[in-house]
């Protein structure tokens, strides 16, 4: 029995486009920040008397439910991957719960697969260092989950299977930033990221995105090292727009932005022009992450919640990585 907590993360430089769907290798490196208020807690227990895996998911403010279909398959496939490494075939019970709503546009799979990987390897007493853990987590299919293992500000490197690991660039206390998620649409039809990771290369703009990646990774590392919000923010917005440009120009095109997305983008740009320094970034959905100095967090949360297009917000500071916690009972 082992229990782990892992954070969701927000990417400043996005993982977009998969060059190897078996090993889950990206076309480019990415940099993210763990979120301190968006956590998944997962416990895993193995028992030789069970003859199948049981996966129980408890979404935010909902009753626990037994997972089936694609959700269960992904968990079982990852358990199998770890059982193979440990040389066991024992079945497991996996119980997982989130501190944040599933429809908030926060990639819950990153937190989920980071917590699952850490709890499962601990329950099986596998001795893996952090780098190996990030590589194993990446293989879950949620590649960016590997970024939820190390603490604080994290880079996931582009490389072959061995070289495609994540590591911390700075601990959470290095820089007091805030990420306020402006949830604009909880009803929008979901467009999964899996298919679009494979369609990215059909965009004539994808090569231009990749040509600019090294410069943006360098700028982002430098911005984090010297706590330069302007450099981080401008680089981050360029990268997010570039990712969505690829989606809008792939074949067939995919538009993640909604009316609310555009309302928040325009508001953030207008507030910034007036002197309140904040920057937007957007993952594979309509909701907008607004990044600012920790000292501006309350003001920005207030302004975002006042926009008619914003349903609610979720504010985060920099978070620790995945960690084991004492299991109950």
Binding site for its own copies (CB under 8 A): 204-205, 207-208, 211-212, 237-238, 241-242, 245, 248-249, 253, 255, 257-263, 265-266, 269, 309
Closer CB to its own copies, 37 or 262, in the complex: 262
Closer CB to its own copies, 212 or 317, in the complex: 212
Q: What is the DSSP string of 140-184?
A: TS-GGGGGGSSSSEEEE--SSTTT--EEEEE-GGG--EEEEEEE-
- CB of residue 187 to its own copies, shortest distance in Å: 12
Closer CB to its own copies, 88 or 262, in the complex: 262
- CB of residue 16 to its own copies, shortest distance in Å: 15
- CB of residue 214 to its own copies, shortest distance in Å: 13
Closer CB to its own copies, 36 or 239, in the complex: 239
- CB of residue 312 to its own copies, shortest distance in Å: 18
Residue 197 three-state SS: helix
Closer CB to its own copies, 227 or 269, in the complex: 269
Report how far residue 298's alpha carbon sits from residue 258's, in angstroms, rounded to the nearest whole number.
25
Long-range pairs for 52-56 at CB < 8 Å and ≥24 separation?
Answer: 52/91, 53/79, 53/91, 53/92, 53/93, 53/94, 54/91, 54/92, 54/93, 54/94, 55/93, 55/94, 55/96, 56/93, 56/94, 56/95, 56/96
Q: DSSP class of residue 318?
A: B
- CB of residue 188 to its own copies, shortest distance in Å: 9
Report how far residue 22's alpha carbon sits from residue 15's, in angstroms, rounded to the nearest whole number.
16
């Amino acid at each position: 029995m082992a229990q782990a907590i892992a954070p969701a993360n927000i990417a400043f430089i996005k993982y977009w486009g998969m060059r190897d769907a078996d090993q889950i290798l990206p076309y480019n490196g990415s940099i993210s920040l763990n979120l301190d208020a968006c956590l998944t807690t997962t416990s895993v227990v193995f028992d030789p008397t069970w003859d199948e895996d049981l996966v129980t998911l408890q979404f935010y403010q909902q009753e626990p439910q037994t997972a089936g279909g694609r959700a269960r398959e992904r968990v079982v496939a990852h358990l199998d991957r770890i059982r193979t490494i440990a040389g066991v075939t024992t079945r497991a019970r996996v119980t997982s719960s989130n501190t944040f709503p599933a429809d908030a546009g926060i990639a819950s799979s990153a937190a989920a697969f980071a917590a699952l990987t850490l709890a499962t390897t601990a329950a099986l007493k596998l001795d893996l260092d952090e780098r190996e853990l990030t590589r194993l987590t990446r293989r879950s299919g949620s590649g960016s989950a590997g970024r939820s293992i190390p603490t604080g500000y994290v880079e996931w490197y582009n490389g072959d299977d061995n070289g495609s690991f994540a590591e911390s660039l700075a601990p959470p206390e290095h820089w007091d930033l805030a990420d306020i998620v402006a949830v604009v649409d909880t009803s929008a039809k979901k467009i999964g990221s899996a298919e679009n990771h494979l369609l990215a290369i059909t965009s004539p703009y994808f090569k231009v995105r990749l040509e600019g990646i090294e410069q943006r990774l360098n700028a982002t590392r430098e911005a984090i090292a010297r706590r330069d919000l302007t450099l981080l923010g401008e680089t981050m917005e360029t990268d997010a727009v570039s990712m969505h440009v690829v989606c809008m120009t792939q074949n067939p095109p995919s538009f993640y932005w909604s009316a609310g997305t555009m309302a928040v983008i325009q508001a953030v740009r207008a507030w910034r022009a007036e002197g309140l320094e904040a920057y937007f970034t957007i993952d594979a959905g309509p909701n907008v992450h607004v990044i600012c100095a920790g000292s501006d967090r309350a003001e920005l949360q207030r302004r975002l919640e006042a926009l008619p297009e914003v349903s609610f917000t979720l504010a985060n500071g920099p978070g620790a990585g995945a960690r084991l916690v004492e299991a109950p009972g």
